[in-house]
Amino acid sequence: MLRRLRTVVLVVVAAALGAALGRVALQARQRIDAGESPSDIDFGQIGVRFQDVIPGLVAAFRVKDAPWSWFHIPSWLAAFAVNFGVGAAGGDIASLRARAERMAFDAVGLDAREFGMGGEWDDETETPTDATGSTTHASWASTPPPPPPPAGDD
């Protein structure tokens, strides 16, 4: 009984610690993107809510089920790693998924836009705008693929 209680407490602490350190990593990444020093993080702004801890708790409970049980991952490690990853990714999970899709399609020599995948496109040289002049974000699914190269004279 005490062993099980100790495991539950350890999982909850690891989940909360993972969520907090994930938030720290997110703030450090945002500061780097803004051109600021990543070491000047205000720890007073880092708050962990119960909703931030739930993904890690779910992972800790699922680690004993097949096929995850085959990896023999401790419950506390699953809770920490999942909450750290979710916290560090912040709201960028959709963009990370789109980037992974584009990289996977590029690796096999295909264009993700042809399959309606790859998320929103962002051209660094030109930002699309609508008729009112406001910035729009067209998805790759709605952007036609580039024209084929001209046939060479052989």
pLDDT digits (tens, 9 = 90+) for 31-46: 888 888 888 887 887 8
pLDDT of 29 > 70? The answer is yes
Task: Give the dihedral sign, CA 61/83/112/118.
Answer: positive
Rounded-to-integer distance, Cα 17 and Cα 38, Å? 20
3-state secondary structure of 114: helix
Query: Which segments of 34-132 does DSSP mark as H helices, in order?
Result: 50-62, 75-89, 93-107
Residue whose token pair is 């993107």: 33
Please give the structure tokens belonging to residue 127. 């930002």
Which of 37-41, 76-80, 112-116 holds the top average pLDDT? 76-80
Residues 6+ apart with CB under 8 A from 121: 113, 138, 139, 140, 143
Q: According to the model, what pLDDT value does residue 121 have?
A: 57
Task: Give the dihedral sign, CA 55/61/67/68.
Answer: positive
- The size of the chain, in residues, is 154
> Which of 45-59, 70-84, 119-133 shows the lowest per-residue confidence on average (mean pLDDT)?
119-133
Q: According to the model, what pLDDT value does residue 17 have?
A: 94
Residue whose token pair is 């990370």: 96
pLDDT of 126 > 70? The answer is no
Rounded-to-integer distance, Cα 23 and Cα 87, Å? 5
From the list 14, 120, 134, 19, the residue with the least C-alpha distance to 75 is: 14
Overall average pLDDT of the 62-81 stretch: 90
Q: According to the model, what pLDDT value does residue 40 have?
A: 82
